[in-house]
Structures are given as C-alpha cells and as structure tokens.
Amino acid sequence: MSERKKVIGEAVSRIDGFMKVTGTANYATDFPISNTAYAFLFKSEIAAGKVMDIDTSAAEKVTGVLAVVTHKNAAKLTPSRGLRGGGILQDNNVEFWGEHAGFVVAETFEQARYAARLIEIKYEKAAAKTDFEKHEKEAVKPKAEDRADKIRGDFASAFQTGAVTVDEIYETPIEHHQPMAPHATIAVWDAADKLTIYNESQVVNGVQGAVAQTFGLEPKNVRVITPHIGGGFGSKGGAWGHVILAAMAAKAVNRPVKLALTRQMMFDSVGLRQKNVQHLRLAATKDGKFTALAHETTTHSAINEEFVEPCGDVSAHMYEVPNSRISYRVAAMNIITPTYTRGPGKSTGSFALESAVDELAYKLKMDPIELRIKNEPAKDPSNGKPWSSRSVVECLRKGAEAFGWSNRKAQPRANVQGDFYVGFGVACGTYPARQRDTSAIVKLTRGAGANVTAAIELAASDLGTGTNTILAQTAAETLGLDVNQISVKIGDSALPPAAGSVGSVGAASFANAVYEGCLKALNELQAKTNRQYFNAPTAAELLDAANLKFYETRVDAKPPEGTDKYSSHSFNANFAEVWVNRSTGMTRVKRFVAATGAGRILNPKTAHSQIIGGGIWGIGMALHEESLIDPRYGNFATRSFADYHIPSNLDVGEMKSVFINEEDKIVNKMGIKGIGEVGIVGVAAAVANAIFNATGKRVRSLPITPDKLI
C-alpha cells in the first residue's frame, strides 16, 4: 500500500514556468494561424455627438488593404448583455472620446495601421459631460438594487451625540488596469456559423456566451481558447468591443484576422476604475467604541451603461457599528464604461474607511491596532450571519509582530532619519470568499511498468497566478501521484464549463471541482474491484486492481449546501514603513508586511506572489496612479507609461507576507477562501496612514504625490 505524499500546501514551483521563461507559452496573438490578416482600429476624436461622414477612400488605396469597415457597412448584430462598453459600429452615435469608429484590415499590421491614419471623419458635436466636478451634483441613485441605500439604526442621532467624530471627504482618481499583455484577439470562422476566438479571457464561458449571442450563434459553435492571459486585473473579465470587431473583420475578409490593442488604446477601450468621492463619517465613545458610521460614495458611469463599484462594502461588515448608512450616487458622463478592477470597491472603499479609523485613533490617542480590535464584530453586522471564520485580530497581532509595530512612535514627525521623516501605518482589508459552479474531467491512464498519469480538464483560466500548479497539486495529493504525473488542460471553452478567474472565486471553484472529480474517480474505480483497503488506495493501485488501462469521469461541482447561512471573507492587516524626504516630499515604501487569513493556502509560493502583486499595486494606488482627462475634449492626457505612473523596482522596498493558519470547514470542502483580490485591499490606506505618522500631514486624495506633501 503506497503512502500518500503531502502536496497541497507545499511551495511547488509553477509547472508552466518553463514555458513562460522560454517564450513557448502562447498568448492570444501567438497562435500560428495561417493566412492571417491584421485589423487596426480607428477611434472617435470627440466625446459626444454623431459621425456625419467618413472618407475611407485614401485608406482603401493603400497597398495590402483588404477592407475598411465603419458603421456604414458593418454587419448588423444583436449586442449581448455580456458585452462591455459597446463600440461595435451599430450606429453613428459617439458617447465618449476613443469610441470605436471603425477598423482597417490589411495583409500586415503596418499597412493596416498606416491606412487607419488616412481616415477622415466629420462630426456633429454635442455638449459633452467630461468634467466630474461640474456634473457631480447631477448624481442620482443607481438603478442596481444592490447599490440601494443601506441604513441600520439611527445614524444621524448617534453621530450627533458621538464623543469623538471624524467627518471627511476621501477621493480616489480614475485608474486604468494595464496588464503586461494588452488585449488582443484572433478570430477564425471555421464555417458560416462556427467561430473560434483566441482571446485572453478571465471568464472563458462568459466570453463564449457574449460572442455567441451577439452574432446569433449557438454557444457550442463559438470556441474560446485562452491557455495564458498575461494579466487582466478585471479588465479581461468580459467581452469588450474589440473582440466582436475582430470576428466581424474575419467575416468581412473571409480569413483569420488578428486585432491587437496598442498600449495607448488600452486607456479608452477596456474600461477603467472610476473616480470616487467618499464622504466618511465616524463617531465613537471616549473609550473608542464605534457608535455611528456613514459611507456615502459619489461617482460616475457611462452615458448609457451603469457600473458602480461597491465602495461601502468594507464599511458594511468590517467593524461593529450599531448605526450606519451606506449609499451611492452616480452621474452619467461621456466616459467609457467603468468596470471591475482588482479589489473593486473594496480597495477604494478601504482607503476611506481605514484612513478615517486612523484619524479617529489619533484623536482618541489610541493605538490604531487596539482601536480596531476593540470594535471587532462577533458576527457580520451587515446581515447578522455568523462568520464561517474570521482572523482580523490574529492578522493584526501577527502582522504587528512581524513588522515591529512596537517600535512605532505615535507622535507625527517624531522619527527623523537624516533627510527623511519615517512613519508606520496600518490598515485592514477584506474580500468575500465564494465558490462557483465548475465542472471537470479526470482522465487516468496506466502505461508501461504500471506508470499512471492523470489529465485534468476544465474551462478554467490562469491570469498568471498559478492555476495550473494548484490544480496539479490538488489532483496529485488526492490521487496519490506525483505532480509530474499530472497534466492540466484549461483555457478552452470546449472543455467542461468553469467559473472565471474573477472575484477571488477561481481557486476555490477550480480546486474543489478537481478534488471532487479525483475522489469520484477513486470511488468509482474501487466499486469495480472486490478488494478491501485498510488505507485509502491510490489511483495506480485501483487501476491495477480493476485491470484497466484507462478511466475517465466527470464531476459537476457546486458550493456546499448551507454556506449562504454564513458570512465568508478573507481578511488581512497591512503594515507600511514610509520614508518621506523632508525637502522634496518624495515618498518611498521602505518596508511592507501583509498578514492574511484566507483559509487553506494551496501553494504558499504562488500565494506569496499574489499578495506581493496586490501590495505593489496598492502602493501604486497610494503614490503613483492617476488617469487625467482633458475636460476640453474628453480624452485622457495620460495614455502611456511615460505619463501614467506605476511603481518601479526602486519604488518598492522589502515586501513580506504572513499567512494565518486558518481552518474554515464551512466555506467549501477544501476550506479555500481566495487571495487574488484581498492583497490590494487596505494597502493604500496603510501607506497614507504611515505618511501621516511620518509628516503629520493627512492627505485624503490619492495619489499622494510630492506636491501634496511639501
């Protein structure tokens, strides 16, 4: 009887790592499709109005040009509800600067790009809403039911009678996700009604459904292939207009077409994180017990499409507050539709909440950690449900120990090192933990010498976070095999349907499906034998006992019953040490520690990488990232990495992650909570709080650039 080797929870290196570092991993436009043509977009240069005429004659005369498509000759489609941002040339209306006006298809990318520059467009301009400050007062209640006002207790009375209060406005700017791989698509029509899309998709089956509905096809006749993604951060969660236009282009020239967005196009093609103005009011007793909390967010969305990120979610259940008010107001503007961006709502909302908590702690002359612990809720305040598990206090305690919080000087400007003010800051974060329906196939093969291999297949996706590896680990331990005996096939809609790599549901959904599939295979094989086992048999032993060379089974995994009776979240505590130059205001995060409680950690190596990635983005959110609109025209003045700043290596100091040993037997069978989102939540607030501790200056508008500190 073979003894099972522990694989889940081990720091296994990525099984697809060799492919990536040697350049053999295929991303969307890397597939060697023969006879491929190239499409290049041209875009509107007004923010509101109509396209009155388009002169394409010069472009059509360029050598190699195969087609020029505009709203005049575009195929008539039925846009799916899953299509994000429109832009598929169905009319001549213009709703934001950079909306798709058409595309050129040519033999080469260079020919298509050159020809696109020759297009001449005449517009009828309309008054455009591009300045948020001017239109903020036009904000109204969102249409979505889950963004309705949430009121608990009597906030007004409790706030008025609060012994100590904070009443401030916190602002986060428009930000753009800029993954390493910009969005790109290859479209291939295999027949009049069969389409293959090579596209970097976080939700494989979601893109499949959106494309199928838009073109009036059966979903089974649309195949989406996306084995590698190259980052997405939410921007690749749905089908944007360029995906549809790639398929339209392929149909127009009757051959495969490759369409890739330039880095500049990314700023007005695939959504953004919207600007949020958050009015945060917090009241407490003299000994630090919270009595009232209001978190009121005013934001913007597109003219004809609403999206409002849930900034108040963290405030709803982070601390025990008997009286609260959470609300949203949204103004329609001539800006591309906002969309999910890593930690949507929670990363932005936590900046406001956790900054306010820090301000209250300073007024109370309390340690910010002890103030948070004092208001730890026994159950979820937003709905009264018990926690499936909650580790905020442990995150704060262990994180403080790892960081050296005891060395903090409470009084601002008390720690001076040469030309620098040094400060410590802390902030907490959270993100929901969920499992979604996912199916998987497990194939077992017994080769020569009783060598057994397993193939795992499902339409999951890998953003670059290590999905292939954690699934191989799950299968290896469950089947009693080595990781190198497992092959994982994902990123193809032809495989069993799966949840997406969004909202921190990926690991829990994929791994539980693989786990259940492997158990099912073992149980079915054991039923085919008459043997009794004292210890759980391995897949190799069962195939041998059943005298089978091959066995295959499928599982359709669902969340366990009763999980909706509990409140399940991942939690963290973030600690930042900043050094602020006394003369220039330049700020650097010298050290950063994240303590995270996220249930069962499948692979600490890849998990550490995710937490570090979230932390770096949070540092960028705090100090660097901001997309600026020129209100005269509605276009983004920031449209490349020359002017849209992200952290470089020199901006980031020592990064450390600590995982809490948290066992959650309720959230799902494997106890997985997910960490893809929570890594960024609370980070910006920790940095902002550290800057206050260093300088005595409270900055409530991100990013905290040197001009705000001098």
Q: Which residues are catalytic?
A: 677
**Exposed/middle/buried for residue 177 (C-beta within 10 Å: 0-12, 13-18, 19+):** buried
Residues 6+ apart with CB under 8 A from 571: 390, 391, 392, 395, 428, 429, 430, 596, 597, 598, 678
Closest CA to 30 of 161, 157, 198, 171: 198
| CA distance readout (Å), 237 to 44, 82, 231 | 25, 10, 11
**Checking DSSP bridges between strand 587-597 and strand 652-659, what pairing results, if any?**
parallel
For CA atoms 444, 447, 449, 453, give the dihedral sign.
negative
516, two tokens? 């259940």
Helix (H) or strand (E) holding 509: helix 506-527
**Single-letter residue type at 9:** G
Helix (H) or strand (E) holding 253: helix 241-253
Return the beta strands (E) in 107-238 as ranges: 120-125, 150-152, 164-172, 184-191, 194-199, 222-225
Tokens 């990318």, residue located: 109
Please give the Cα distance from 317 to 295 (Å, whole number).
12
For 128: left if phi > 0, alpha if psi spans -120 to 50, otherwise beta; the answer is beta
State the alpha helices, DSSP H only, in 581-705: 604-623, 683-695
278, two tokens? 């958050």
Please give the Cα distance from 517 to 503 (Å, whole number).
23
Contact (Cβ atoms closer than 8 angstroms) between residue 185 and residue 36: no
